[in-house]
A and B are shown apart, each in its own frame.
Chain A
Amino acid sequence: MATAVTKLTPEVKAMVGVQGEFVEASWWVVEKEGLRRFCQALMDPDPRYWDDEFARTTRYGEVVAPHIYVSYLGRTSPSAGDPVSRAFKEDPVSDGIGGVWEARGGLPNVPTDLKRILNAGNELEVYQLPTLGDRIYCQSRYASIAERTGTDGSPMLIVTTETAYYNQRGDLLCVTRASAIRR
């Protein structure tokens, strides 16, 4: 009788707890124009994010940004060249993301032959909001890796990555956990 081969190998298990570098999340500070574009795309018209006068009357005392904004600051530095052109030069049918976007302080890859990656879910804890001019720092780690069986009987891994974000004073802003299905 055939025995199912586990994908949760000792090498995969050893990744739990592995941390990336503590790095600055962005090449630039939290600034008003990037925040405007983000909030309009989010469809959040909250004046706490753009109206200086009103923001001074709130508990924050100044314009703040949605906490989740910090997780999108890893934009391409001008010094990194043009990753989009590079990706399509290497692969004319690039999906536009492979080889284009790389997280700063990225974690080493999980050693598995399960190549397909699906976004399974997110978890957020919020403590403080970023403000204009803040420099944002972050550190990621593999929080957990579990094995599941798909509805078709195929094995899959649920890989949860935790990232903590801080401002330049070392204040914890938020913690995000993203779970990905590897199958």
Chain B
Amino acid sequence: MPTAEELRSKKQVHYDDVKEGQEMPPYVIGPITPTHIFRWSAAIENWHRIHYDQDFAVYHDGLPNVVAQGTWKQSVMPQYLKDLCLPDGWAWKVSFQHRAMIVPGDTLTCHAKVTKRYVKEGLGFVELEVGMKNQDDVETCPGSGTIVLPLRGGRPVPYPFVPPKE
């Protein structure tokens, strides 16, 4: 994952820089520990015991271990797309399904591949196939996203973001 300094000085990726079929730079997160999972529960005040009480997770709910929260994945995926767009692009949409569980010891790779690109109202729209795979190449949340990038020499992506007229 990028550091604060890398995010501070990140250079803009322009629409002109991406091609259909291109893999965007991945994120690697982990290994995930029970402490990471507990810290997320504490931060958002999610007291579901399957996230920090191993006996409850295993013996009551029949899970392999404590498991990472869907809300964490729901937050990391937009973060990944946001970082791809920095400093002045916009991560407009993301959607995904929850598939495989994330458990302590997992190392995760967020990935994105360009499936379509088009220009509308002077802005570059890039559609992506996205996901987060574990170290065994198992997909935990397959989905899609749309990011908006400026064209080289084009107008800035508006903020607040205004979607194009259909």
Contact = CB atoms under 8 A, between A and B. Distances in A.
Greatest chain A CB density within 10 A among B46, B61, B88 is at B46
Nearest to A50: B4
A60 B94 contact: no
B44 A122 contact: no
Given A59-B159, A96-B47, A101-B46, A42 B95 contact: no
A31 interface: no
A171 B83 CA distance: 24
B160 A128 contact: yes
Interface residues of B, number: 54
B157 to A, nearest CB: 9
A2 to B, nearest CB: 30
Contacts of A40: 39, 43
B8 A121 contact: no
B74 interface: yes
Main secondary structure of the interface of B (DSSP, over half): mixed
Given A46-B7, A60-B159, A97-B47, A72 B71 contact: yes
A47 B29 contact: no
Nearest to B49: A96
Interface residues of A, number: 42
A46 B87 CA distance: 11
Contacts of B100: none
Given A44-B79, A123-B95, A125-B93, 20 more contacts: A41-B39, A41-B44, A43-B1, A43-B36, A46-B83, A47-B4, A51-B8, A72-B43, A95-B49, A95-B50, A95-B61, A97-B47, A100-B47, A120-B97, A120-B98, A122-B70, A122-B74, A124-B93, A126-B92, A177-B95
25 contacts: A38-B43, A43-B29, A43-B76, A45-B7, A54-B8, A59-B159, A66-B75, A66-B78, A68-B75, A68-B78, A72-B43, A75-B45, A84-B47, A95-B49, A96-B47, A96-B48, A119-B98, A120-B98, A121-B143, A122-B73, A122-B95, A123-B95, A124-B78, A124-B93, A126-B92
